[in-house]
Amino acid sequence: MGVTCFSQEFTTSVSPSRMFKALVLESHNLIPKIVPQGIKSIEFVEGDGGVGSIKQTNFPEGGHFKCLKHRIDAIDTMNFICKYTLIEGDIIFDKLEKVVYEVKFEASSTGGCVCKMTSEYHSKGDVELKEEEIKQGKDKAMGLYKVVEEYLVANPDIYA
């Protein structure tokens, strides 16, 4: 099994606590509400959102994917860090064992935050992942972060 690692980050004017609440703690409520064309629902199929919980993301019918399942491995609400693993889904799982993510929201000197994400793609056997395959997922994640950022900027009382 090979492991391919990627890191990405972006800066926002939104505070770390609000981004963490929106993208980690309340994502199951917020994301389907603000991007219903992309995500039908997010639900806990095991647990209540704490460590060990399994979260299932369901996509609208007619799309490329049906669902994904993530396991929450660690949540640090004081330091705005979440670690989770993509354990099931119809996204390149013929080539992958799992994808492990760590997301951090760090305060910036401008009053907002820097959102940092690292991803470890664990491939099956000696399968090599193509950069285009991984780039699509990274771009979608960053697009979602930007939509959440825009929503929080437009609604300053949400998760304040």
Return the higher-pLDDT residue of 121 and 152: 152
pLDDT at 18 over 90: yes
Structure tokens at 134: 């991984």
CATH of domain 2-154: 3.30.530.20
Work out the mean pLDDT of the chain and round it to a whole number.
Answer: 90
Return the higher-pLDDT residue of 98 and 130: 98
Q: Is the pTM of this model over 0.85?
A: yes
Give residue 94's pLDDT. Answer: 75
In the chain, where the domains are located:
2-154
Contact (CB, 8 A) for 121 and 3: yes
pLDDT at 46 over 90: yes
Beta-carbon count within 10 A of 9 CB: 12
Which has the closest alpha carbon to 81: 42, 45, 117? Answer: 117
Give residue 1's pLDDT. Answer: 67
Give residue 132's pLDDT. Answer: 75
Residues 53-104: tens digit of each pLDDT? 999 999 998 877 889 999 999 999 999 999 999 998 876 667 788 999 999 9
One-character DSSP codes across the chain: --EEEEEEEEEESS-HHHHHIIIIISHHHHHHHH-TTT--EEEEEESSSSTT-EEEEEPPTTSS--EEEEEEEEEETTTTEEEEEEEEESSSTTTEEEEEEEEEEEE-TTSSEEEEEEEEEEESTTPPPPHHHHHHHHHHHHHHHHHHHHHHHH-TTTT-
pLDDT at 134 over 80: no
